[in-house]
Amino acid sequence: MSHNRPLTQILTKGRVYWDRADTRPVVRQEFCKVLKCRTAALGGEVYESDAERKTVYNTCKSRVCPSCGHRATLQWQREQWAALPDIPYRGIVLTMPRELWPIFRQNRHLLHDLPTVGADVIQQWAKDRHGVHVIIVVVLHTFARDLTFNCHLHILVSAGGLQESQNRWIPSLYYHRDTLMQEWRNALIGYLSEALAANVLKTELNPENLEEVLKAQGRRWWNVRVQGSQTKEHFLRYAGRYVRHPPIAQHRITKVTDREVEFWKKDLKLKRRVEMRYSVEEFVTVLADHVPDHYRHAIRYCGLWAPGSKARTSAAIFALLRQQKRSRPRRLSWRHSLQRYFGRDPLIDSHGQYMRWARRLKPCLSSEPG
C-alpha cells in the first residue's frame, strides 16, 4: 500500500478503541510510543554539512513498533549466533487444544509461566531418558496467522546433551514425540489444576465446569511436532521475526480505510494467500492481545542456557566440543547498523559530503499525536 507506516495509520484511526480506561495500561503505553516514533515528540539529533542539514528523530524502542523491532532483532541474532555452540539442534513445537487458549488470554499472569513449563518437560525427559542436560531456548507465540489468540511454544533444543557425571558431551539424542506429548499434556493440565485450586485462575466457567474441561482435554491427543536436525542460523532467522516485532509484518497490510483493515495470510490447506478483513476496532483489539506485559520476555533460556547454568557450564561445553568460545559482539551504532544491513550511510549528504553532529532537539510535547 502507498502508506509507508500502515500500523501507525491504523492506531491513529482506531485510537478511540484503545486509548481508554478499560484497556491494559501496557497496551496504551506501547501504542502511544508507536505513534510518537520518529517524530518531534521524542526529540532528535541534527546533523549538518556545508550544503545540507538533516534532522533524525528518536525512535520509540517499543516491541510493537516494526521499525524499532527490526534493529533490535538483528542485534539479538548477532548475540545469539556468537553465544550458541556450532552443533546440530532440534526444533520442538508444543501446542495445546483451542479450548485452553481463552484461559491464558484471560489470565496473563499464567501465560508468563508457559515457557518454563515446556522447558521443564523437555529437560526432565532428557535427564530421565539419557541422563543429560540440554540447551533450551523457548519462544512464546500468542498468535495465529489471522492474528487470533493461539498460545504455543517454539523451542530450540540441542540435539545432544551434557552428561555431567561423566564430564562428556552426548552428540545425539532421540526425542520421542509421543512421550513428550504426554509429559507436556500432563504438566500443563496439572499446572492449570493447581492454579484453579489456589484460586488464581479466573474464567467465565464455574470451577466445576472448568475441572471437567481440564479432564476432557487431559484425555485427548495434543499436537506436538519434533522437527529434524537444523542449524542455529535457521532457528535464529525464524525466531527473529517474533522476538521484537508485532505479530504482523507491515507489508502484509494491503489496505486501510476509516472502517476496515485488509491484510493477507498464508493458508496452509489451500497453499496460497487469502485476504482477511477486520474492522479497525477488531484489528486493534486482536493486536492488543499480543502486546506483552512489562518485564515479560519473548525469549526464555532454560536448561544449560539458563542464566545461572550458562555461567557455570558454557566454558566446559565449548571445551568438550573443541570449539572456541566467542566474545559477545559489540552493539552497532545507528549509523553502522544502516551501513551494514541496508548498505547506505545516513550521514552522507546528496553531494557526498560527511554530515557532522550539530545539536540535540528536546522532546516537543506539543507535537504528540492526537
List pLDDT tens digits, range 37-65. Answer: 999 999 999 999 999 999 999 999 888 88
Please tell me the distance from the alpha carbon of residue 368 to that of residue 39, in angstroms, as a whole number: 8
Q: How confident is the model at residue 1 (pLDDT cuts 50, 70, 90)?
A: very low
C-beta separation of 211 from 144 below 8 A:
no
Query: What is the distance between the alpha carbons of residues 27 and 10, in angstroms, rounded to a whole number?
Result: 14
Give pLDDT tens digits for 334-359. Answer: 888 888 878 889 999 999 999 999 99
Q: Give pLDDT tens digits for 218-242.
A: 999 999 999 888 899 988 888 877 7
The pLDDT of residue 2: 39
Q: What percent of the chain has pLDDT over 70?
A: 97
Query: What integer pLDDT is reported at residue 43 of this predicted model?
Result: 94
- Rounded average pLDDT over 201-206: 86
Specify the pTM: 0.89
Classify residue 194 by burial, with Cβ atoms within 10 Å: 0-12, 13-18, 19+.
Answer: exposed
- Residue 145 pLDDT exceeds 90: no
pLDDT score recorded for residue 348:
93
Helices (H), the chain: 6-13, 15-18, 25-36, 66-83, 101-106, 108-111, 114-130, 177-197, 207-217, 232-243, 280-289, 307-320, 334-342
pLDDT of residue 22: 93
How far, in Å, CA of 18 to CA of 155, rounded?
Answer: 32
Contact (Cβ atoms closer than 8 angstroms) between residue 213 and residue 74 = no
Burial class (CB in 10 A: 0-12, 13-18, 19+), 93: middle
Average pLDDT over the chain, rounded to an integer: 90
Residue-wise pLDDT for 112-130, tens only, equals: 999 999 999 999 999 999 9
* pLDDT, tens digit (0-9, with 9 covering 90-100), for 237-255: 888 777 777 888 888 999 9
Q: How far apart are CA 217 and CA 199, in angstroms?
A: 20
pLDDT-derived band at 99, boundaries 50, 70, 90: very high
pLDDT tens readout for residues 260-317: 999 999 988 888 999 999 999 999 999 999 998 988 888 899 999 999 888 888 999 9
- Find out whether 298 and 139 touch, Cβ atoms under 8 Å: yes
Whether the pLDDT of residue 322 is over 50: the answer is yes
For the record, the C-alpha cell of 174 comes out as: 532421540
Provide the b/e sequence for 13-48 (b: ≥16 CB within 10 Å).
bbbebbbeeebeebbbebbbbbbbbbbbbbebeebb
Predicted confidence (pLDDT) at residue 369 exceeds the cutoff of 60? no
